[in-house]
Amino acid sequence: EVPLTKWMCACAIAGLIILILLVGLKAFTKSALPETDKPASRTPDTFRSCSSGSCQRIRQLTNIHQNTSSNPCTSLYIFTCAQHDHSRGLHLRARLEVQQVQSTLSSMPAKNQADNPALAKTVAFYKTCVGVRTRSDKESLLRFLQHQGLQPPSLNFSQLIFSMAARFGVGLLIQFDSRHSTSPGAGGEDRTLQLNWNQNFWVWKTSGRRLLDPAVPYRDFVASVQQLVGDGQTNSTTDATTLNEIAATEELVWKIIDTMYKGNGFENLTFAEFKKRLVRINPDTLSQDLFSSEIPYFPEDSFLLKGANLLPCLDTILTTIQEDKLAAYLSWEAARQIAPFFLPAPSGTTLNDICVYSMQMLLGKSAALLPCILNHVTNAVLDNVQAIFASIRLASQAAILKAESEITNGHQLSALVSRLKGMHLRIAYPDNIESLPCLNSRLDAISDINSGFLDNYISVLEASWKLGTQNFDGDPMVGIDGLRVTYDLQPNTLVLPAEYLLPPLYAVDSFSAANYGTIGAALSTGLWWPHIPFSGQDVDNSTLRSLAEYYAKSFQCIRGGVVHVEDVFSMLAMEVVTEAFRWTLKKSPTEESVEDWQLLYVTSCLASCGSGLHFCQLASAGLPKFRSVFQCAAQVDHMEPCHII
């Protein structure tokens, strides 16, 4: 009996050990893996694979910020990633790796967390690269944020989004007012709509490549083109200056025809035939094409720009603006300011994707940090748009009604000229954002964003605009004097030239602007490029290629020197950021500004996820400015001029 008892005790002990091991293994598995008992409609595709392994970029980014001597070039390769679906096994393995990253970040000493503002930005990158799509993902991330003390107040997200929108222009308000003026030929005093359009822009338009003396009363470009495309008759009092301006305008318009409309049936048109076609445009049809009132936000009295494919109509409006089209043009301009929040996204996209698409339409790749914030956009936030932009709606509505009541077909051309001569674009912040300090204080109250990041970004733009005729090296520019943004502190308004508003391929001076070498032209191209369509009816592919070939001259490429058209514009957008960063270093060489611009450049690379050509790698190897700013050695020994395919 004794041996039997010992055997039974041994079995019991062994069974107990096995039971303990099983319980422990189950507990470990439950903690390491997400809950799987919740129903799922599809296999999660939360994670993005990296070119150097699954989501190693977060760990590497953390190491870079902990070790300031690390080469920032390394992070660019790590952040080059592609988005695609993963198998179940790869998805779980990636989740485990991310949990290890969370553990690494959570184990950082509290002192490092407080002293290292990059940790908060690392969390933002975590949200960008990893994403939050399933319930378990969101709970895991929220626990991580709570542990770091970085969970932002949920009620502040809408405030943050609209504050940033106001800062960067989505919430820009076009102010309309009226004044009494005496219009030549109008028979006395007349109420005139004043849009506050930049005079310098129209002065240059009128003169072609020449600059007019500011002291000389100028003839508006719109009026000159109206004389060209009208009935061909001019006023008997037309002086030689006006005739010269008309001739210069005709040459400029013909250049537009030659560059913008090739491949669209305009190759064999004479200038006279083209003018006749413009005159035959039906303003009612044009208005229907530009606007749609069938929207859920302001169905009674608002207009919504249908899509980016209608942007070429702007050229037609600018070059054929008549009295009966002025109201439609003002409506379009007001609608365009708020269109990014309502512009239809590609079919099949989710609510979050629509928000990201809309914001990136205006801000471009230089503001790729915004998707981190927009992941939290809800339907309630979108509903608040009506309240946030009520001032835009009311102002545009009042302007439209005033224009309709005051502008009739019976007015003389001279009255239109007088009316247009008083137009300047005047932009102000939305309601409750009285000043830049007020906006900064609101941003400071939100723990999820570093207001210094926005301050640096805005300061570079404002400084570059104030420079006017000097580039970052201090050398004279070839550009047009006066095409710069000015800021009036007392009324808190900006005077913004149309060069910074119009998509470059549709701006009248787009190809001439490419020769300026200014950050304005490059920034306009960089911001608008992702939304310029390839459709032949909008703009000929040869036009896109011509502009890409111009910019490609400044790049050196790897991989045989072959790139696509879109690669050139992606590198151009990155170079704009690098140029701004280099100027920041020159004027404010603080550690915070260096860190902000380094991360901004990396986020620009994140916007290129999904490309097989690795824009970040191309940019780091092919941009001398990037290497000089970041003090990087050339990653590739053999460099070649870029060849576009």
Residue type, 529: W
pLDDT of 558 strictly over 50: yes
What's the N-to-C CA distance of the chain in angstroms? 89
CB contact at 8 A, 543 and 506: no
Output helix, strand, coil percentages for the chain, rounded to the nearest 5: 60, 5, 35
pLDDT in tens, 200-227: 222 222 333 332 222 222 223 333 333 3
Please count the structural domains in the chain: 3
Instruction: Return d(Cα 286, Cα 47) in angstroms, integer.
Output: 45
Choose from 74-78, 432-436, 447-451 the range with maximum mean pLDDT: 432-436
E strand or H helix at 194: strand 188-194
Q: Do 175 and 250 reside in the same domain of the chain?
A: yes
Over residues 456-473, mean pLDDT: 35
CB contact at 8 A, 225 and 319: yes
Encode 322-343: b = buried (16+ Cβ within 10 Å), e = exposed. Answer: bbebbbbbbbbbbbbbbbbbbb
Q: Do 311 and 188 reside in the same domain of the chain?
A: yes
pLDDT for residue 24: 64
pLDDT in tens, 390-431: 333 333 333 333 433 443 333 433 333 333 333 333 333 333
In a domain, 485, yes or no: no
* Residue whose entry in the numeric block shows the structure tokens 């072959």: 562
In a domain, 409, yes or no: yes
Percent of the chain at pLDDT > 70 equals 4
Q: Do 110 and 64 reside in the same domain of the chain?
A: yes
In a domain, 557, yes or no: yes
pLDDT band at 62 (very low <50, low <70, confident <90, very high): very low
Range of the domain at 618: 540-645
Q: Where is the domain boundary, 151, 184, 213?
A: 151
pLDDT of 376 strictly over 50: no
Number of helices (H), then strands (E), belonging to the chain: the values are: 30, 14
pLDDT in tens, 310-351: 223 333 333 333 323 333 333 333 333 323 322 333 344 333
Over residues 97-104, mean pLDDT: 46
Q: Do 207 and 141 reside in the same domain of the chain?
A: no
In a domain, 273, yes or no: yes
Over residues 564-593, mean pLDDT: 53
Q: Do 187 and 301 reside in the same domain of the chain?
A: yes
Q: Where is the domain boundary, 399, 428, 444?
A: 444
Instruction: Return d(Cα 413, Cα 436) in angstroms, integer.
Output: 41
Q: Do 264 and 371 reside in the same domain of the chain?
A: yes
Any alpha helices (H) in 411-534, and if so which ranges? 413-421, 436-444, 451-467, 510-513, 519-528
Q: Do 301 and 208 reside in the same domain of the chain?
A: yes
Q: Do 146 and 179 reside in the same domain of the chain?
A: no
Q: Do 278 and 194 reside in the same domain of the chain?
A: yes
Q: Do 287 and 424 reside in the same domain of the chain?
A: yes
Q: Do 385 and 254 reside in the same domain of the chain?
A: yes
In a domain, 458, yes or no: no
Q: Do 177 and 285 reside in the same domain of the chain?
A: yes
In a domain, 454, yes or no: no
In a domain, 496, yes or no: no
Instruction: Return d(Cα 282, Cα 234) in angstroms, integer.
Output: 23
* Residue whose entry in the numeric block shows the structure tokens 């083109």: 225
pLDDT band at 549 (very low <50, low <70, confident <90, very high): confident
E strand or H helix at 495: strand 493-495
Left, alpha or beta for 183 (phi > 0: left; psi -120 to 50: alpha)? Answer: beta
Q: Where is the domain boundary, 427, 444, 461?
A: 444
Name residue 292's beta-bridge partners. 304
CB contact at 8 A, 70 and 28: no
In a domain, 57, yes or no: yes
